[in-house]
Amino acid sequence: MSSRPNVGEAVVMGQSDSLPVKINEDGTDQLEVKGYQVHRGRCALACLAVLLTFGLLLILLVWRKDIKMWMFYKECPLQHASKILVKDSFGVFFEEDAQEERCGPILQPKTRFFVNKRVKYVWDIETLEFTRLQCYDANIECLSFHENPDGLNMQDVNERQQKYGANFIRITMRPVYHLILKEISNPFYLFQFYTIVVWMAQAYYDYSCLVLATTMIAVGSSVYERRKHMVALKKKVHVAGSAIVIRDGTEKRILTQQLVPGDILCINPLDDQVPFHCDAVLVEGTCSVDESMLTGESYPITKMPVPQDHETFEYEVHKRHILFNGTQLLQGRPEGNNVFLKAVVIRTGFMTSKGELIRAILFPKPIHFRFYADLIQVAILFLVFGLGGMIYSAYTWIRNGGNTKEIILHSLDIVTFVVPPMLPAALTATTAFAQRRLRDKKIFCLSAKHISLSGGVDVACFDKTGTLTETDIDLAGAIPIQEGEFRKPVPQLSTLPETHPLLQAAATCHTLIKVNDQMNGYSIDRKMFDATNWNFVNGPPGVNSAYGVETPFLVSSPLWNEKRESSFSPTVEYGLLKRFPFESAVKRMTVIAQRKGNKHYNVFIKGAPEIIAELCDPVTVPSNYYAVLKHYTIQGYRVIALAVKTLNPHFTWSHIQQMTRDEVEANPELIGLLVMRNQLKKETIPAIRILHEAHIRTVMVTGDNLQTAVTVAKDCDMIDRVQRVIQVEATIVPASIHGAQHLQVLYNDPLATPEFIAGTMKKMQDVHNGNYCFAMDGQSFELLRIHDAALLDKCIHRGKVFARMAPEHKQHLIEALQKIGRQVAMVGDGCNDCSALRTADAGISLSMADASVAAPFTSQETNISCVAPLICEGRTTLDAAFGTFQFAIGICFIFFVGVLMLYSISTTPSDFQYFIWDFGIAIVPFFTIGYATPPKYLHPRRPLRHLWAFLPLFSFFTFLAWQTIVLLIGWFYCHAQPWFEPYVFEPGKHPPNPSYEETTLFNLMSIGSIVAAFVFAPSPPYSRSSFSNKIFMIWAFGATILLLCVMFITNDGFVYWMNFKTPPHPEYTVVILVLGLAGGLFSFCWEKYLIRGWIYQWVWPRLNRLRPARHTYQKIEKELKSKPDWPKLGGKDISKDLEQEALQVEPPSPNEKGASDSVSGEDQIPSSSPGRNSLRDLVGRGKTTFRTFQGSRRGGYTINGPKLEQDYPHESIPLKVPVTNVEVSPSVSRSPLPKTTDEEYEYEFHPRPPSIPDEFLSAQSSPVQVLAIRPFEDEEHEVAPPPFEIDVEQRSPLSRRGQGVFQLVDEKNAEQPDSDVQLLAYRASRRPSDLSPSQQRRHLNGHGPHPAE
């Protein structure tokens, strides 16, 4: 029963009149709420204020819900509130109604609730606060889904229908008038309304009607686009249908809208493409579903029934058991002889996964674009000038004896000059032009405001798999393991005997299905199975007599024997009886299978190598297992481990079905490794280089292994060849007798072997000289985000690779980059990128799935070549918006000054003069300036993004100053003429008497308007020249001809119509024309060459270096430059003591360091291309015996402590890496290795002149200390010679006109160069002072005596 709390309780709960109550503090949708009740006195005063302001106060109340609540309502405790003021995490206010409902028996009290953003919040009588309505599956055991086979009764159905609502994602279509009223509440539209009223009162109907028409078109198009998107979304979301459920023990067919949580859903697998209308947990049968609507991936996902145990069900953990709303059934297999699959409904409506996606679309993150905020501020500033002009206008008309109407109308009219009424329509047209150009480039924009935001992007984040690399993965080879030793690698799985356990594991351990005679499944599974050449078929319905149990799938060897002789039946056949799908938490999958004819059952396991090694019998794991694994992962290969286990022959199938997954997978035998590769897309490297040339940082954000991600980043030139990569590893050190619990951060080389770091690097000081970048995994990122935000800011500022990032980590990374002042673009192709795509300033989805609608941009080209054109288009749009605004304000202020000068003698331009100026000169540039096209390249500097800044205001006010000077010169020159006649003012006369001043100033103002269009038109480097804008040039030519005709036609009728007073001498008109052109030429040169040229390109960057850093990332960069010795490789930072509490983030296990992880899923496929600038790059080559994969840069040795031991006992796999369509850096040489036989091949490389590594050459100068070794000369050496120190001889000086040539010299024989030494590490004391960066780059690119390797 609810009870009314006392005042003390209300204050404790934060329900006082001053403090709001916070909701969802631990969740994503954090809210602050306040309660209000209607107050009659405040309502009366508010209504009176609305009447006194002629309704203008309503506009403020539409903008600010908090002010509206304060004016009409009184604060009160939440439990008594009738209105709830909600403030979300973005600072947006919502006004919600507090309601009551009864969800249980009649005697039970009603429950108070409110709904915000389609989420229901209910009143908790125990905590006395609103809490989010819990889902049906919260805090229940898995066993509970099986406890009610008869379904719900009608009372339960009615109560849950009332509690959770209808199973319907309702898209509310707002009335058109509501959308129109919201659109015209924009301040600029309100000012347009004011302008139209004033001009109508002055009988200036022509331009008033034009402004009204353009306003109606702009408002109508905006409302039409918004409503069209809502209608399209509603059609996509609204999927009506029927479903079979079990209620009161009987099967019933009901509408899907009537489904409630707890219903038992009966699914017929024979129905074609059965869609799911809710989130349900599978309890009987198995099936494969298509989740491309949510994930963007087209492969099927296998769903298993939820186990009957006491484990707590978790929505995010048990996804393998959930049938999600919006997905489709591809294939199903009921349990036993049942007809239906059975599932229990757990979530409906907006509580489903699809509902959350639609909520994100309906309530996106507000766009805080500084340009539009500055637009309002600058408009307010100009309105202040307008108020000054209004006062001066009233003074002059009163002084000269004007009547009341003239005083009022002309005083109100002068304000209309300071803010151009056509500006909103012009900015809308500019964005529309950009949208059309993007559409031509196959880039679709769902939010036009993001186009301008993309113009300020300075950091581009990329997903890896499917974005930088191809989605498909290729099998490079396999390495069998027998008796705890690596055997000879095989390039083709099909060459193994049919009885080989590795081949059988590859043929059985997968989640493939066959639909319409086509294989469907993960690309890894497809490639692996295709390499076996085995056959796959769906099993017969019911019990298979050959096995005695149900066999959902059958795999069999090819219809030929090992001698390639045809056979009528396969030699080996397996029935796949039960699958445990891949789970990211355990990083493995398992299949229980039985070979035809055998009585025992086999278990095949596939997964991350370090995880599988932990499961297996230690006797079966080779001693050099992790060394071999590291050897391949640092080259970018994907490694998957396989294991097998034979179950006890006495175990029956019913007994096996009762076994847990842990029991099934316990203590298997490790049988081999599969080595796979993933190629870069051919568009990746050129796109990355373009962004780097434009000084746009590129960052990789992936769910893949760290070493693989670093290697791919090097291969695609995301990480520079001369840049040191430092891995940041954060761990929680638990409390002990030595100290309290604390955060420890280590800095290591992610590509160096642990033995090298522990042994050699301790003897040598690592030198990076500030040219370094960070790489970290998601676990370390989360620890730093929670416990050390300052260090996290440094890491993300210099971060290049973020691996093992969960979807929420990606979003937090984007937010962290934005927090330090960056504008971020995010490119991804899957549903796990959706949150990051929505958060980024420019989110680009490479998937056309339904989940992509959450991103502002969607590219039809599934590669990153769309990033540079989008940023270029954004810069052009931003530059055009600046130009449009400056032109609009410029011409208005020219007339503002000119009209004020005419008001001083109480005259004004005639209506036809306004008509010629408005329709013939001013209106066309409003729309043609935004028609500028983007250039063919990205400039290294971003365009100006703030109107409220020095350069834009300086540009505008200096232009206005020069034009004012021109008008003053013309004014006084006119007065100085001997034939000049003063103007005679007649009150009330319209139009006024003609005057020389009016004629002169109108000509100069018209010239100034044409000049303003050329001065502020977009130009290089962010747009093409205005001369390439054909529509603009046609207007310029026509406007010039029109102006010359107006100035020089002396026909009496035309002069009378224009209300001109023609000068007696034509030479005067020529002088005025020359004066206007001279002023225009000066203004053009001032803007283009002085402001945009010298000041913007040269002076402004140098001033920025002198003034204090404004953005956080600039302060961080300054701090890092002041600490050249931080961080030290192998060093560590220890934070302050942490509270000893249970952390959600567990420290990584030691076995996770340096191994390839998960098997399947998005972001789990590494690249195959070998990396650069790692330990293997520091090693020269002589005549050496190679036993490694193609692309490995190490010779026949490894580093193991202080000694050199022979490499791993396995031969090479002949890999053919197709690089025909991939642009590879010229500095990378990839020579294919010959086919491997049982004997070793001696491979001879032509040795190049020995030299110091390229990274040393670009950053160091002698003296240096170098640690080097000699490779094995032959196979007879049991122990390699120890490393020795050598010196560096500089054979030619480093100068601006020459290039340095370095040579390694043996310390024992200084006269002869040692061509056989292998460089391990180096130490230098200073940087070169006379080698320019361009010469360093030239040398690194091979333009010198020593071509870069």
Active site residue ranges? 463
Identify which of 773, 623, 606, 726 has the alpha carbon closest to the alpha carbon of residue 673.
606
Q: Which regions of 433-550 does DSSP assign to beta strands (E)?
A: 443-445, 459-462, 474-482, 485-486, 513-515, 518-520, 535-538, 543-544, 549-550
Euclidean distance between the first and final Cα of the chain, in Å? 79
609: helix, coil or strand? helix
Identify which of 840, 936, 932, 812 has the alpha carbon closest to the alpha carbon of residue 879.
932
Is the Cβ–Cβ distance between 549 and 577 less than 8 Å?
yes
Taking residue 750's Cβ as centre, other Cβ atoms within 10 Å add up to 26
Instruction: For 641-659, give the DSSP string.
Output: EEEEEEPPTT--HHHHHTS
Question: What letter represents residue 531's amino acid?
Answer: A
Place of tokens 């999927």: 239
| 188: Cα separation from own chain's centroid | 32
Cα–Cα distance, 494 to 528 (Å, whole number)? 10
Identify which of 824, 1012, 980, 817 has the alpha carbon closest to the alpha carbon of residue 905.
980
Identify which of 852, 846, 873, 864 has the alpha carbon closest to the alpha carbon of residue 439.
873
Cα–Cα distance, 311 to 1054 (Å, whole number)? 93
Give every CB contact of residue 572 below 8 A, 6+ residues apart in sequence: 498, 499, 504, 556, 557, 595, 596
Q: Which long-range contacts (CB under 8 A, 24 or more apart) does 119-124 make?
A: 119/29, 119/350, 119/359, 120/165, 121/23, 123/78, 123/79
Place of tokens 């509970």: 144
Taking residue 653's Cβ as centre, other Cβ atoms within 10 Å add up to 15
Buried b (16+ CB within 10 A) or exposed e, 471-509: bebbbbbbbbbbebebbebbbebeebebebbbbbbbbbb
268: helix, coil or strand? coil
Between the CA of residue 364 and those of 89, 730, 828, 840, 894, what are the distances in Å?
12, 33, 18, 12, 41
For residue 190 the two structure tokens come to 């309100």
Give 410's Cβ-side CA count (13 Å radius). Answer: 28
* DSSP code of residue 560: B
Is the Cβ–Cβ distance between 83 and 72 less than 8 Å?
no
Cα–Cα distance, 1233 to 1185 (Å, whole number)? 12
Pairing of strands 588-595, 573-583: antiparallel
Between the CA of residue 786 and those of 699, 744, 783, 1144, 1327, what are the distances in Å?
22, 13, 5, 10, 38
Place of tokens 């905006």: 222
For residue 212 the two structure tokens come to 């009204």
Taking residue 1005's Cβ as centre, other Cβ atoms within 10 Å add up to 26
For residue 818 the two structure tokens come to 């934005």
Cα–Cα distance, 34 to 14 (Å, whole number)? 10
Identify which of 444, 433, 352, 459 has the alpha carbon closest to the alpha carbon of residue 931.
433
| 585: Cα separation from own chain's centroid | 25
Cα–Cα distance, 533 to 499 (Å, whole number)? 14
Residue 1213 backbone dihedrals phi, psi, to 5 degrees: -105, 125
